[in-house]
Amino acid sequence: MSDMAKNLILWVVIAVVLMSVFQGYSPSSSNSLKMDYSTFLDDVRAGQVNTVEIKSDQRTIEGTKKTGEKFTTIMPMYDQDLINDLDRKGVIMKGQEAEESGFLTQIFISWFPMLLLIGVWIFFMRQMQGGGGKGAMSFGKSKAKLMSEDQIKTTFGDVAGCDEAKEDVKELVDYLREPTKFQKLGGRIPTGVLLVGPPGTGKTLLAKAIAGEAKVPFFTISGSDFVEMFVGVGASRVRDMFEQAKKSAPCIIFIDEIDAVGRQRGAGVGGGHDEREQTLNQMLVEMDGFEGNEGIIVIAATNRPDVLDAALLRPGRFDRQVVVGLPDVRGREQILKVHMRKVPLADDVKASVIARGTPGFSGADLANLVNEAALFAARNNRRVVGMEEFESAKDKIMMGAERRTMVMSEEEKEMTAYHEAGHAIVGCLVPEHDPVHKVTIIPRGRALGVTFFLPEADAISQSRRKLESQISVAYGGRLAEELIYGSERVSTGASQDIKYATSIARNMVTQWGFSEKLGPVLYAEDENEVFLGRSMGKSQHMSDETAKIIDDEVKMLIDSNYDRAKKFLTDNMDILHAMKDALMKYETIDSAQIEDLMARREVRQPADWNLDENGSNGGDKGGKKSASDTNTATGDASSSDVQNDAVTPKDVTDQGDVKDGDESPVTK
């Protein structure tokens, strides 16, 4: 029976009971005449009354007159003389036997309204607790969902892009299948495994694959499901969860987002939380207390291992950490092939090409890419998904949908074209910079134009020369506007470029040791800590003299790369004008056209450029943007309507790369 049917039946029963109670307490309705007691006495003395019936309460009198008319009256108090008057007048008298109710009946009648309120309260509390067959008093019961070995169809074949992580957890499968193999040699399988990695990298999928390969029951629960408003409920749920797991051992318990309950105790951030701490304490005891839980493997996932309590990470509990990081180009290709199994593909689709153009993408991003490509193909009534759809899907995910309906004046388009051409030319001339792949002035999201740089390979670290090249490229757009229109007409479109370049220069000085005056010394505070002086670029423990040297070094780096970019554009002013003309004509140019422009050759027509009946560009067939994990993309908007650059690099490295600002219109 469905929950709706159960609720409907319950409310019908409550309504029937209430109607019965109110009907029992309500006075009986009749057609008798209600008269005053004094009038009744006058009628008795006048001999007009034929019969009377005195009710059990000894005060209510019902009767009939000699005319046949019925009446009802109430005695103010019991009147003994009334019986004598009625007898003298020859009135037929009747009495009603008093109703005798038992003690339990009286208690039920008196307490029925209270019991009804309690029942309604229990019903609503049960609904707030999610039902699921658990009563309102079952707060301490575990909310973990049990999936049997037959319900889990995921295997290691469905997990790609994390070969090292799969190798780390394969022995868990072997242990669950054949525990005696390890016990003979005195080996002890880890009690807990912590899966660590950015969002969307496949931590939950990997945990399901472990259970699917081992063919064991799989308990899944979120860390937030333990904590309630009542202190002690979470600890009770932990105990109940492990009790259920013991009955199904060997089995796997998967706790997603364990940082919701496993945060460090006594950290002082956010205040104390007795319920969360008690829940954490109970989990610590269950994982490695006096009573061992043999055959139970706890797998937890988190994006923030740095906030977990140290007791959780010690040997005997979560003593093994498996890093599920962002996939490399080979891993992205494998992930794409897994998701492409469900999609009919055209012959021109190459997973390796798509993987190379999507650096920094997680498994979830790639799954979304395949899905968006399938939607584009369905929208265009295609039977298969081609490379064109994948390129369009990639552009949409990275930058947002095209805004071809946006009205831009020719002057704004021209300024945007010069701005993007400045980025592209400097990017082609500076050393160790990623190749320019595409330049477009088609508005996307909140951006008026974007320059795409596609890395040739995934970069792990960056040299000083490459970082300085990125600073020069960032200022290419502003310099192009300044050289063409003069300093008085430079727009605010380069605000994000300036922020990006300044951040790189400051990190080079304070974190990466690229300053000759300051040397390889760390001058930057932890990014997660908040200090009063950070808004001025000064650490709390930094002297004024050191802060001034840092500012001078940052200014020197920016000035030198600014002058270099200005010289490149000044020496290649003819290329700047030619690239502007090409962008105004085609709106989007790719690497082939950029190569022609840099070689001062006639620009070839793009292969995917179509003209509509009005003679204008029929549409961009998909641009490519590098969103690599080493800050290889630069994009911007060259209009005062858009105050910041359109695309900023993706901050996924551990080298202190620039994070996207709050005002960045589009980030990836």
pLDDT band at 67 (very low <50, low <70, confident <90, very high): confident
Active site members: 420
Check residues 555 and 358 and name the one with the higher pLDDT. 555
Of the candidates 589, 284, 605, 264, which has an alpha carbon nearest to the alpha carbon of residue 423? Answer: 589
User: How large is the average pLDDT for residues 613-628?
Assistant: 38
Q: Is the pLDDT of residue 59 over 80?
A: no
Q: Percent of the chain having pLDDT more than 70? A: 72
Q: Which two tokens stand for residue 499?
A: 């922020």
Strand, coil or helix: what is 141?
coil
Question: Distance between CA 346 and CA 132 in Å, rounded?
Answer: 46
pLDDT band at 559 (very low <50, low <70, confident <90, very high): very high
Write the pLDDT tens digit of every residue in 421-458: 999 999 999 998 888 888 888 777 666 788 878 777 77
- In sequence order, which residues have a C-beta less than 8 Å from that of residue 355 and are 6 or more positions away? 329, 330, 332, 333, 336
- Whether 619 and 587 have beta carbons less than 8 Å apart is answered as no
Q: What are the sequence ranges of the domains in the chain?
A: 145-323, 329-398, 410-514+554-667
- Whether 588 and 596 have beta carbons less than 8 Å apart is answered as no
Q: What is the pairing mode between strands 192-196 and 296-302?
A: parallel
- Lowest average pLDDT, out of 40-54, 57-71, 293-307, 516-530, goes to 516-530
User: How large is the average pLDDT for residues 513-527?
Assistant: 79
Q: Is the pLDDT of residue 556 over 90?
A: yes
Q: Is the pLDDT of residue 594 over 50?
A: yes
A 10 A CB-CB count for 400 gives: 18
A 10 A CB-CB count for 569 gives: 23
Q: Is the pLDDT of residue 245 over 60?
A: yes
Give me the helices (H) in 511-606, please.
Answer: 544-571, 573-586, 591-598
A 10 A CB-CB count for 433 gives: 21
Residue 560: what are its φ and ψ, rounded to 5°? -65, -40
CATH topology of domain 329-398: Helicase, Ruva Protein; domain 3 (1.10.8)
Domain 410-514+554-667, CATH 3.40.50.2300 — does that match?
no
pLDDT band at 7 (very low <50, low <70, confident <90, very high): low
Write the pLDDT tens digit of every residue in 352-384: 888 888 888 888 899 999 999 999 999 989 999
As a whole number, the mean pLDDT across the chain is 75
Q: Percent of the chain having pLDDT more than 90? A: 16
pLDDT band at 535 (very low <50, low <70, confident <90, very high): very low
- Whether 619 and 425 have beta carbons less than 8 Å apart is answered as no
pTM of the model: 0.61
pLDDT band at 130 (very low <50, low <70, confident <90, very high): very low
Whole-number pLDDT of residue 483: 92
Whole-number pLDDT of residue 180: 74
CATH number for the region 145-323 comes to 3.40.50.300
